[in-house]
């Protein structure tokens, strides 16, 4: 059953990581905690490799104008090999956890949780649902030490997630969206982007620039990602503008940067909202 989750297209898969083999709760215990948060649920499977339920309150909007129920699922306890699961490239973009290589090497077990049939769910609703599902899983597995989301390249400590006072959108960004930073080789150019919004049906954000403080651009990327997720019903259009930064690195409405939808410059290939940073822009903007 090792490939079970990988065969599910477009699901957001979260891996709970452990140093010691955890005790998996029964299906009844999982469903009980789910009802406490989601209310009525429909049991789909009690299989320990795919304990699954759906919820009438969450639906996907199909192309034929019908709706279908969205589900959530949990797998069994599996072995975890950090060398196989987290690539060297992915490790270079773990900025939020100190000593991440050392920590990852300690984890020997994982439990995967994921959503089902959620590809056409409202993105903001999907994000909140996934956060609730993660909260449930962390309660069911109190000895979970970290999570890894490969599709976002996001590694986060379980205790940090539990300590976060905010929930919903803020916790989704904190737990499941990665803000990355790259220095383009042999140039004075930089790329800052997000990974994790495209996972739930939105566009990630991307800045290709030179001559600005990358840390300040990373903060702006986070703010823009939060805006995109919070306003998933108000789509930024090609040619729209956002407030940019002046020469002192401060946001100001006096500087307007143009938005355009493109394919990402850096893997994974995904749609991004690219920001033309005006006189600081890098790359071919034609």
Q: Are residues 193 and 73 in the same domain?
A: no
Q: Are residues 194 and 162 in the same domain?
A: no
Q: Domain end: 176, 208, 238, which one?
A: 176
Q: Are residues 170 and 185 in the same domain?
A: no
Q: Domain end: 135, 155, 176, which one?
A: 176
pLDDT beyond 80 at 100: yes
| Alpha carbon distance 131, 174 (integer Å) | 10
| Alpha carbon distance 21, 164 (integer Å) | 26
pLDDT beyond 80 at 282: yes
Q: Are residues 154 and 212 in the same domain?
A: no
- The reported pLDDT for the residue numbered 235 is 84
16-20, 133-137, 184-188, 233-237: least confidently modelled range: 233-237
The runs of H, that is alpha helices, within the chain are 27-38, 82-85, 88-91, 100-106, 123-140, 158-163, 168-176, 214-230
User: Cα angle vertex 182, ends 178, 187, to 5°?
Assistant: 165
Inside any domain, residue 261 = yes
Q: CA dist 250 to 107, 205, 224, 254, Å? A: 41, 19, 15, 11
Q: Which two tokens stand for residue 82?
A: 């950090």
Q: Are residues 27 and 61 in the same domain?
A: yes
Can you name the residues that pair with 78 across neighbouring β-strands? 110
pLDDT beyond 50 at 8: no
Inside any domain, residue 41 = yes
Residue by residue, what is the 3-state secondary structure of 214-269?
HHHHHHHHHHHHHHHHHCCCCCCCCCCEEEEECCCCCEEEEEEEEEEEEECCCCCC
pLDDT beyond 50 at 259: yes
Q: Are residues 116 and 241 in the same domain?
A: no
Q: Which of 153-157, 211-215, 243-247, 251-255 has the highest mean pLDDT?
A: 153-157
The model's pLDDT over 206-224, given as tens digits with 9 standing for 90+, comes to: 999 999 999 999 999 999 9
Inside any domain, residue 285 = no
The model's pLDDT over 152-182, given as tens digits with 9 standing for 90+, comes to: 999 999 999 999 999 999 999 999 999 999 9
In the chain the first and final C-alpha atoms are separated, in Å, by: 48
- If DSSP codes are grouped into helix, strand and coil, which group holds residue 196? coil
Inside any domain, residue 286 = no
Q: Are residues 191 and 116 in the same domain?
A: no
User: Cα angle vertex 280, ends 279, 284, to 5°?
Assistant: 90
Q: Which two tokens stand for residue 139?
A: 């309660």
User: Per-residue pLDDT averaged across 121-139, rounded?
Assistant: 97
Q: Are residues 139 and 207 in the same domain?
A: no
Task: Identify the domain containing residue 269 by its residue range.
Answer: 178-280
| Alpha carbon distance 189, 85 (integer Å) | 30
Q: How confident is the model at residue 285 (pLDDT cuts 50, 70, 90)?
A: low
* Under 8 Å between Cβ of 69 and 54: yes
How many structural domains compose the chain? 2
Q: Are residues 161 and 21 in the same domain?
A: yes
φ and ψ at residue 21, rounded to 5 degrees: -60, 120
Q: Are residues 127 and 26 in the same domain?
A: yes
The model's pLDDT over 31-82, given as tens digits with 9 standing for 90+, comes to: 999 999 999 999 999 999 999 999 989 999 988 889 999 999 999 999 999 9
| Alpha carbon distance 200, 221 (integer Å) | 18
The pTM is what?
Answer: 0.93
Count of beta carbons in the 10 Å neighbourhood of residue 235: 12
What percent of the chain has pLDDT above 90?
88
Q: Domain end: 111, 142, 176, which one?
A: 176
User: Per-residue pLDDT averaged across 134-161, rounded?
Assistant: 98
User: Per-residue pLDDT averaged across 266-280, rounded?
Assistant: 95
pLDDT beyond 90 at 283: no
């Amino acid at each position: 059953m090792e490939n079970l989750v990988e065969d599910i297209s477009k699901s957001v898969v979260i891996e709970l990581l452990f140093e010691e083999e955890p005790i998996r709760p029964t299906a009844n215990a999982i469903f009980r905690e789910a009802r406490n948060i989601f209310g009525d649920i429909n049991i789909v499977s009690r299989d320990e490799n795919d304990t699954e339920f759906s919820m009438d309150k969450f639906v996907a909007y199909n192309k034929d104008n019908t709706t279908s129920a969205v589900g959530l699922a949990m797998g069994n306890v599996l072995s975890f090999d950090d060398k196989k699961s987290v690539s060297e490239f992915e490790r270079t973009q773990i900025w939020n956890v100190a000593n991440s290589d050392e920590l990852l090497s300690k984890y020997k077990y994982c439990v995967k949780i994921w959503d089902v049939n959620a590809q056409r769910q409202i993105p903001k609703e999907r994000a909140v649902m996934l956060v609730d599902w993660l909260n449930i899983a962390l309660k069911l597995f109190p000895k979970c030490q970290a999570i890894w989301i490969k599709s976002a390249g996001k590694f986060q400590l379980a205790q940090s997630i539990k300590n976060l006072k905010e929930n919903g959108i803020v916790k989704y960004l904190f737990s499941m969206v990665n803000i990355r930073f790259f220095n383009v080789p042999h140039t004075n150019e930089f790329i800052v982007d997000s990974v994790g919004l495209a996972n739930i049906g939105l566009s990630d954000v991307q800045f290709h620039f030179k001559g600005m403080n990358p840390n300040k651009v990373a903060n702006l990327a986070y703010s823009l990602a939060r805006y995109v997720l919070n306003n998933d019903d108000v789509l930024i259009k090609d040619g729209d503008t956002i407030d940019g930064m002046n020469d002192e690195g401060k946001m100001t409405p006096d500087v307007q940067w143009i938005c355009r939808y493109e394919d990402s410059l850096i893997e994974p290939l995904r749609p991004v909202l690219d920001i033309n940073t005006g006189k600081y822009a890098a790359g071919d903007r034609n």
